[in-house]
A and B are shown apart, each in its own frame.
Chain A
Amino acid sequence: MALPILVRALRRALVALLLGILFMPRSASAQSIEIDVQAKPLAETLEGLRTRWGIDVVYSDRAVAGVLSTCRYRGDEPADALRCVLASTGLEAERVRRRQFVVRTISEAPPQPSDEESATARLSLSGFVRDASTGELLYGAHVVIPALRVGTATNEAGYFALPSLPDGEYDVRISYIGYEPRNVSLRPGERASTIRLTPIPFESHGVTVEADRSREQGFPPPSGVVQVPVRELERLPSFPGEQDLLHALQWFPGVQKAGEVNGGLVIRGGSPDQNLYLLDGAPVYHPWHAFSLISTFQTETFSDVKLYRGAFPAQHGGRISSVLDAQLKDGNRDGPRATAAIGMLSGRFMIESPISHGTSFMISGRRSYLDKLIGTRHPVEDAAGRRDTLRTDYFFHDLAAKVSFGSTDWHRVSLSHYRGGDQLDLRLPFDLSLDFSSWLRPADLYFEIDQYWTNAVTSMRYQYIYGTRFFSTLTAYRSAYRAREGFVLRPTSDSHLLSSYTVTLEDVGFRWDGQWYFALDHDLLVGVHVVDHLFRSNLDAQIYRSVAAVDSMSQYSRQRAVETAAYAQTSWRPRGNLRVQPGLRLTHFGGGGYLQLSPRLGVQYAPLPDRVMLRAAGGRYDQFMHRLRDRHSFLYDLVSSRWIPTSEDVRPSNSHHVTAGLEVRPHRALILSSDAYWYEGFDVLLPQDDFQLKDGLEGPGIEVAALLGQYTPGDARSYGVEFNARLDHRSWELMASYTGSRSLTRIETDDGFRPGRFDVPRSFRGLVGYSWSGLTVRFSGDIRSGYPHTVPVARYVLGDPLGTPDVYLHRPEINNGRLPPYFHTDLTLQYAFRWGGARWNAQMHLFNLTGRRNVLARQYVPVDGRVDVRDRRGLPTLPLFEIEMRI
């Protein structure tokens, strides 16, 4: 069998990778140092210490010019060796960290240290990194002191700190993808500086970013993390030609939508309900509009987006597959800006502006306009004078706003709010036809659908810096997901049904994070997260089958659980090119009283800075709520996301992740990366009967116990390798990714693992773009294995005591076959121009350029002694457009 061989091969590759990291070449550390110099120029002696004994000494040429040193030393203490070398020179050496020293004159009087600094007599170099054009704080910018080969990255608030530095002027290099790197001279111990990076300008909406690829000694994102500036995400094609973050993220390996254009995100084989979507730290439970056609996340409204495709650090928890952490923009601090656009489905706007010094706001909105085109209320009257009002109302909307206050960067308060949802209200006759005019008449036999689902998220953050070394963030939030499904069906004059089903999930959460930069090579993040979950569902239904036969159902479900987590994660740089991030998360969940300890570990190593970076991460993850759907009845659970908490009867899901990879930059414009991953999930709820689909009005109801009867705990396993190439060179851009992976599941009655619903062994995606004089052409393609499906292996006849024999198809194994390969190409044409004082961007997007109707599902139907194969196919070629204006 190929699978065991594959498993062994992959395990060996992972072991090889981990061993490679563990047994990297070490620098001389415990060597005996021998120095014997007589009146030798000090600069030469110090250089000899560096090259021969591995003692890194930083000094200014001016300080050592003309200075001679005389020393005879034998021992293994670098500090003693330097003391000998510098004796009688008027200079002294101060240790920065292990085997690294700064030389300075003895007479240099250090500035008065603050109380905090006095304990160590060291100073901190700290500051904020901002976008020069908008004032937005930049998360993940690299801050490096090249002379010391030390560096760090800005946190979520754009803050950095390099503590325990001797006093003096330091040349600091700050870089961030998409921005011009900047060299500044900073002195530690002063108040935090603010460094502004200038974005590399768009060239006709094609971006030349090759210069910014060098990250000096900054580490790449940890293994499995997608962290790309929003400006770059905005460029990626998404369906239906409008800004959509979750569509854009599909261009990265391991991320795909469950359906062709709809469905949740499947990330490295995990199911969509195992992903956590965070908006300014608050969860969004149903981040989709239009039946999952587009997401609630508008790319341009975010300042920072980070996707952990598994193996996330200790501050995140509550899901076992992935975390999307998105931060809304604070708003432009330099001046008012506005964006407006209209596309195929919706129109949108964004306005951002400073209010006063240190205060800014951003507000954005989006709304579909189909209802405005076709109308929502249609009064009709027939020849007999009967009147009726038909309804065709559907729209979705988003409103996001954020206000940031803070006259200084030491205190910052931000308040953000998001509200979005969908509303569907239909009243139509049953006998619809393609002749729309035939609809417009009073309907005796009709159906009414009244559905809405909304997310409302309010988040408040307070950030405060104690001294320069302790960064504190308080977050309080409320997130509410509400959905309602209402039906009225009247297929005969005497038969009808009325149903109303509601689902509510409310979270009220409080979170505190403290980041302590306690040494140059250490920082520590600790935090507490408490959230109160409230789950409610209600069903009222009456089915009038005839005048005499009436069924009714009335059920209510309410559960509450408090989730408390404490976590700690340290970032330790034992060497300039090695970072180790161990972490621990302890979670208690009130539903069932579960206490789980989840260790995490991340390692990053840059054997050749700027060229080769290795990374690995792993950990244990827990999920204390499950999303379930009734699999029998059409009356409820059609479009809602129903979550239930764990309890004594329902165990939490947990998973183990290991991921490792490398990033290679053979050229400044080219990044090649590869990651391997392994995921094992336990106690995930899988359908008890895969063949059961909604097929009637009756069902077991919404009681949790009844719902759970349709599911069974199982195991999930995913593993794979991902290759990604990214090239930005002059007017050309290229993205290509290949993923080889498996996603498997197993329930108690299975002999072994079987392909999961979204198992895709091979997937290739590519995008090539060219920009010229305002015009950008992008061609993108996606080819992958077809999804698994169940193929019958035999047919047979079987009877029944109350019926006639029927022909059935034998399906002993689930997902034993595969649909034809999926192949899809798009072409995007963009033209950027200036007109009327505004910048315009017109876009034409040809979805499915080749017109290939991919097979999305396949059905085998026994008919008249033979078996018909019926395919459900994907969308044909669709021209989509959008025009955007920015002022």
Chain B
Amino acid sequence: MMASPTRSLIIAFVLGVAVLAGCGTVEPQSEVIVVVEAFPATASSEIDVIVRHSETVWGEMAADNAVDDAEVVLRIDGVEVPALAMGEGQYRATLQDALDAGMAVDATIRWKEQRASASTAMPRMIEIDSVRILPAMRPVEAVLIDSVTIGAPPPETGWLYLVDVAVFWRPDATDNEAFIRAKLAPERSFAGPVVDFFLRSDHIFSEASALQIGDARHWNGVYAVRVEGPDSPLPDHEVAIALLRSGRDYARYASSRFAPDRREPVGNVRGGIGIVSGVAVDSLRVVVTHPEEMR
């Protein structure tokens, strides 16, 4: 015969198990959330805010998830500026003066019961001083893999021209917190998981860490163009070269938006989803030809 305290303890354990047995993670429910996107640009006198809403994960994505009935209020250095609905979720605020570096931009969006807000500061203008494009003299053999997952078709080899691009710009000496995004967007490019590790066509980095030559900082990028064989010339193509200066919020956002299957971008909107970040952008387009015929 067991002592009664022992019996009580056994019962306590059994009850504990019974309680724990019902405990687990509840399957999450879908929700509709306001999504805000705004990239006010330095030296611009207009600010466009795009407002959308999220939708359920499952089923076909609706073609129209724009929000046209939101209330969008912007404050530039504390001065309220109304934003008018332009349709398809776009709201535009027209300023008397262009946005200047250091200005504070606050955005507040009210939609249904939701209130989303975000703040940003305008960066200094950025201007591409010069670019230097150096295509390879001949194509190189490369492994062409579409996927490194198990079960994917076996990889094959092909031929690529590697194109080096150096971009030069004047640094912002007043802001050590500035981040730069440099992007090369050739109209004909190759992308594959292994070769991509070696290419560098989109890069976000701290401006202070960029190499400096004289008064200019510079960045080196590499992209690839696929060709038929070892004797194929580099096809004429256009490449868009862009430099973007912004702050830490944008750097965090831009560097986290490349893997939609794994993560969502890190935004700065409170009470909603999205990003509001001041940017300064400069870009140019260059036609790249075979080395002997470079124009």
A-to-B contact residues, CB < 8 Å: 2-3, 5-6, 9-10, 12-13, 16-17, 20, 23-25, 430-434, 444-445, 489, 491-495, 497, 543-549, 607-608, 611-612, 614, 634, 662, 664, 674, 676, 689, 691-693, 695-697, 720-721, 723, 738, 740-742, 755, 759, 761-762, 785, 788, 791-803, 806-811, 813, 815-818, 859-862, 865-867
Whether the Cβ atoms of A798 and B35 lie closer than 8 Å is: yes
**Contact of B2 (CB < 8 Å), options: A3, A611, A797:** A611
Asked if A815 contacts B25 (CB within 8 A), the reply is yes
Q: How far is the CA of A817 from the CA of B27 in the complex (A)?
A: 6
Within 156-193 of B, Cβ neighbours of A (below 8 Å) are at: 156-157, 160, 162, 164, 181, 183, 185
- Given contacts A6-B19, A20-B9, A720-B20, A492 and B262 within 8 Å (CB-CB): no
User: Quick one: which of B3, B16, B55 contacts A10, CB cutoff 8 A?
Assistant: B16
- Residue pair B25, A612 in contact (C-beta under 8 Å): no
- Using A546-B164, A546-B222, A697-B197 as known contacts, list a sample of 19 further A-B pairs with CB atoms less than 8 Å apart, ordered by residue number in A: A2-B22, A9-B16, A491-B142, A549-B220, A607-B3, A689-B266, A693-B262, A742-B20, A755-B25, A761-B20, A793-B31, A796-B33, A798-B274, A800-B254, A802-B183, A809-B260, A861-B261, A862-B261, A865-B61
Q: Find chain B residues with CB under 8 A from A10 CB.
A: 16, 19-20
Query: What are 17 pairs between A and B in contact, CB < 8 Å?
Result: A16-B8, A17-B9, A23-B5, A430-B143, A493-B140, A493-B141, A547-B162, A608-B2, A612-B6, A762-B20, A798-B275, A800-B39, A807-B260, A813-B28, A817-B27, A817-B28, A861-B260
Query: Which of B155, B156, B262 is the most central at the interface, judged by chain A CB atoms within 10 Å of its CB?
Result: B262
Binary per-residue interface labels of chain B (92-123) against chain A in the complex, 1 for a CB within 8 Å, 0 otherwise:
00000000000000000000000000000000
A795 to B33, CA, bound (A): 9
Alpha-carbon distance A806/B9, docked complex (angstroms): 57
Beta-carbon contact of A674 and B13 below 8 Å: yes
Measured between beta carbons, the chain A residues less than 8 angstroms from B264 are 808-811
A807 CB contacts on chain B under 8 angstroms: 61, 260
CA distance A742 to B17 in the complex (A): 12
Residues on A with beta carbons closer than 8 Å to the beta carbon of B37: 798-799
Whether B17 and A740, one on each chain, are in contact in the complex, defined by CB atoms closer than 8 angstroms, is yes
Complex Cα–Cα for A612 and B13 (A): 15
Contacts of B160 in A (CB 8 A): 492
- Which one of B30, B199, B267 lies within 8 Å of A794 (CB-CB)? B30
* A contact residues around B260 at 8 Å (CB): 806-809, 861-862
**Which residues of chain B come closer than 8 Å to A798, judged between CB atoms?**
35, 37, 52, 257, 265, 267, 273-275
Contact between B140 and A492, CB atoms less than 8 A apart: yes
B25, A545: Cβ atoms closer than 8 Å: no
Q: Looking at the complex, which one of B12, B143, B244 makes contact with A13 (CB distance below 8 Å)?
A: B12
- Shortest beta-carbon distance from A783 to chain B in Å: 13
C-alpha gap A362/B266 in the complex (Å) = 58
Cβ-based interface call for B232 (8 A)? no
Known A-B contacts A817-B28, A861-B261; the reply to A494 vs B162 at CB < 8 A is yes
Q: In this complex, which of A23, A662, A794 has the most chain B Cβ atoms within 10 angstroms of its Cβ?
A: A794
Judging by beta carbons under 8 Å apart, are A445 and B142 in contact?
A: yes
Find chain A residues with CB under 8 A from B134 CB. Answer: 548
**Chain A residue nearest in CB terms to B29:** A793
A785 to B24, CA, bound (A): 9
Chain A residues within 8 Å of B261, by CB: 859-862
How far apart are the CA atoms of A6 and B55 in the complex, in Å?
A: 34
Chain A residues with CB under 8 Å of B258's CB are 695
Tell yes or no: B290 within 8 A of A by CB.
no
Closest 8 CB pairs of A and B: A740-B20, A433-B154, A691-B263, A794-B54, A492-B142, A430-B143, A796-B54, A493-B140
- Per-residue CB proximity of B55-76 to A under 8 Å, as 1/0? 1111111000100000000000
Measured between C-beta atoms, what is the minimum distance from A575 to chain B in Å?
A: 15
Give the shortest distance, in Å, between A26 (CB) and chain B (any CB): 12
Looking at the assembled complex, report how far the CB atom of A788 sits from the nearest CB atom of chain B, in whole angstroms. 6
Chain A residues within an 8 Å CB radius of B86: none
- Nearest-CB distance from A606 to chain B (Å)? 11
| Closest Cβ neighbor of B134 among chain A residues | A548
- Bound form: Cα–Cα A801–B244 in Å: 9
Closest to B63 in A: A865
Would you give the shortest CB distance from B208 to chain A, in whole angstroms? 15
**Most B-side CB within 10 Å, residue of A12, A548, A720:** A548
Q: Is B54 touching A738 in the complex (CB atoms < 8 A)?
A: no
Chain B 196-237 per-residue mask, 1 if CB under 8 angstroms from chain A, else 0: 011110000000000000000000111010000000000000
User: Which B residues lie at the A interface, using CB under 8 A?
Assistant: 2-3, 5-6, 8-10, 12-13, 15-17, 19-25, 27-33, 35, 37, 39, 41, 50, 52-61, 65, 134, 136, 140-143, 145, 154-157, 160, 162, 164, 181, 183, 185, 194-195, 197-200, 220-222, 224, 242, 244, 254, 256-267, 273-275, 279, 281
Cβ of B273 to closest chain A Cβ, rounded Å:
6
Contacts of A723 in B (CB 8 A): 13, 17
The reply to whether A445 and B12 contact each other, CB–CB distance below 8 Å, is no
Contacts of B157 in A (CB 8 A): 430-431, 444-445
- Are A6 and B9 in touch, CB under 8 angstroms? no
If over half of B's interface residues share one DSSP class (helix, strand or loop), that class is named, otherwise mixed; here it is mixed
Is the pair B273, A866 in contact by a Cβ cutoff of 8 Å? no
Q: Which residues of A contact B17 (CB under 8 A)?
A: 721, 723, 738, 740
Q: Contact check: which of A434, A491, A742, A860 meets B154 at CB < 8 Å?
A: A434
Write out the residue numbers on chain B whose beta carbons fall within 8 Å of the beta carbon of A492. 140-143, 160, 162, 195, 198, 224
Residues from chain A with a CB closer than 8 A to the CB of B263 are 691-692, 811
Known contacts A20-B5, A696-B197, A795-B61: does B21 contact A808 (CB below 8 Å)? Answer: no
Closest Cβ–Cβ distance, residue A726 to chain B (whole Å): 17
A24, B136: Cβ atoms closer than 8 Å? no
Residue on B nearest A696 in the bound complex, by CB: B197
Q: Nearest CB to that of B61 among chain A residues? A: A865
Q: Which residues of A contact B25 (CB under 8 A)?
A: 755, 759, 761, 788, 815-818
Cross-chain contact B10 with A664 (CB below 8 angstroms): yes
Contact residue among B16, B50, B244 (Cβ-Cβ distance under 8 Å from A802): B244
Measured between C-beta atoms, what is the minimum distance from A854 to chain B in Å? Answer: 17
How far, in angstroms, from A10 to B30 measured CA to CA in the complex? 32
Take A546-B164, A802-B242, A809-B260 as given contacts and tell me if A491 and B195 are in contact as well, using a CB distance cutoff of 8 Å. Answer: yes
Q: From the candidates B31, B220, B257, B266, name the one contacting A548 in the complex (CB within 8 A).
A: B220
Contacts of B32 in A (CB 8 A): 794
Which of B6, B145, B267, B279 lies in contact with A430, CB distance below 8 A? B145
A621 → chain B, closest Cβ, in Å?
Answer: 24
Nearest Cβ distance between residue A550 and chain B, in whole angstroms? Answer: 9
CB nearest to A9 among chain B residues: B19
CB distance from A759 to the nearest CB of B (A): 8
Tell me the complex Cα distance, A20–B5, Å. Answer: 6
List B contacts of A432 (CB < 8 A): 154-155
Q: How far is the CA of A232 from the CA of B25 in the complex (A)?
A: 36
CA distance A817 to B145 in the complex (A): 33
A791 touches B143 (CB 8 A): no
Question: Does B28 lie within 8 Å of A796, measured CB to CB?
Answer: no
Within the complex, what minimum Cβ distance (angstroms) separates B47 from chain A? 13
Residues of B near A809 (CB, < 8 A) are 57, 260, 264
Q: How far is the CA of A549 from the CA of B265 in the complex (A)?
A: 29
Contacts of A785 in B (CB 8 A): 24
Alpha-carbon distance A548/B219, docked complex (angstroms)? 12
Bound complex: CA A497 to CA B200 (Å): 14
Closest Cβ neighbor of A18 among chain B residues = B9
Q: Given contacts A431-B157, A634-B197, A862-B261, are A794 and B60 in contact (CB under 8 A)?
A: no
Cα distance A16–B5 when bound, in Å?
Answer: 9
**CB-CB nearest in chain A for B41:** A801
Chain B minimum-CB-distance residue to A796: B54
In the bound complex, CA of A533 to CA of B263 (Å): 38
Q: Is the CB of B3 within 8 A of A608?
A: yes
Q: With CB as the reference atom, state the residue of chain A lying closest to B277.
A: A801
| Nearest residue, chain A, Cβ from B193 | A491
Find chain B residues with CB under 8 A from A607 CB: 3, 5-6
Q: Pick from B59, B222, B244: contact of A866, CB below 8 A.
A: B59
The answer for the CA separation of A614 and B5 in the assembled complex, in Å, is 11
